[in-house]
Structure 1
Amino acid sequence: MKFATTVPWLRLCCVSLLATASFLIPVRGFAQALPNNPNQAIDPNDPNILRPTAQSSSILSFDGGKRLMSEAESAVSSQNYDSAVKKLQEARLVFNQLSNFYQDLTSSFSGIDNRVADSHRRKALESAQMRDESTYRLALVYRAQNKPELAVPLLVQVIKSQNPSRELGSKAYQQLLELGFADVPFERGNFKPITPAPKK
């Protein structure tokens, strides 16, 4: 009687051992070698082609954003405004993301390593400057397309970010004047900070 109940358990154990052993034996058809160069990444569109992930070739970099702005400038020269809009929107997004990421890094390292925090702060400012430059150029393209309703909000964003006393902010305000959205001229050279009256 005991033998009859032991046989199924014995069979089950043998089957389990065989199944486990089969998983441990490597199957040559499924194994793939990893790339020897750790600086290469798999292209999601074609996983069989490896590409380097250097910063200069990445879209999420200063070079990537500047490349988009350069392509937009070429598109404007050939009056391909739709392409220019697309490239400038992408550049604006890239520089905005870079600025946000560098600001986050600045916050993370602030008080821990000020040297690192300062480096990232400078990069955040440079990224923000390039974002505002691409935003301004995008507004100009919208003006060329006779779409002031799209240009005005962008120009206001530039002024808010840059301040009207800075060159880019002043240029953006001049565009608002030309569009008729603003009606009071502002000259950057005549800028005098308003000081509160002394308290009595």
Structure 2
Amino acid sequence: MTPAPKKTTTKTKTTTPTPQPSMETMQTATNESSIALDDPKAMRALAHPLRLKLLSELRITGPQSVGELCGVVDAAPGSVSYHLGVLAENGFVERAPELARDARETWWRARHAWTTVEPADADAPPEKRVASRALRHGILQAYVAEASAALEREETLPSEWVGAATSGDAVAHLTASQLAACSDELRAVAAKWAEIGSRPGDDTAPVILIYQAFRKA
């Protein structure tokens, strides 16, 4: 079954914090806060699982060097550099040369804080419909991977963090307009807590909010 949300808005969140530059130089995104994807080429580029991880890491943790990213995503420098180049070609990331401490380092930053993906219209070109579906499948798989990893981490976390987390589902009989209103409310809740937790603190940790709402049949 393929979810068909009205809109997918994602940071593609797959991160592990690493040492960062000072807050004076760190920027999660440099230009507009959101990018709305309409180009099938860009959709196909972002659908790759490693590129989703790299973009997520840069958006959530901030600018990083290729070496730091290699440690986070467990990939070789050549592979990481190649996939960052593809992301750059499609406008998702850019180099951050001012952060390099020597000529051997290559630093990158995300250009936007969020990606918005709309399901392609029924009359859209086949290439766009296929690319949109492939990207949304990739994002969904990233969500599943995050939730699975969270289960594996439970034994290593303090009990208060395990108890504070939640997951669940519900089935409601709604009209299309009611589903749209529900989706708007879910996005508003996520945006509220993202704003509250927009800056790391001494007793905070990265928390992922994943939500889906779609017609079941």
Q: Give TM-score scaled by structure 1 length.
A: 0.27
Between Structure 1 and Structure 2, the one with more helix by share is: 1
Larger relative strand fraction: 2
TM-score by length of 2: 0.25
Q: Who wins on radius of gyration, i.e. which is larger?
A: 1
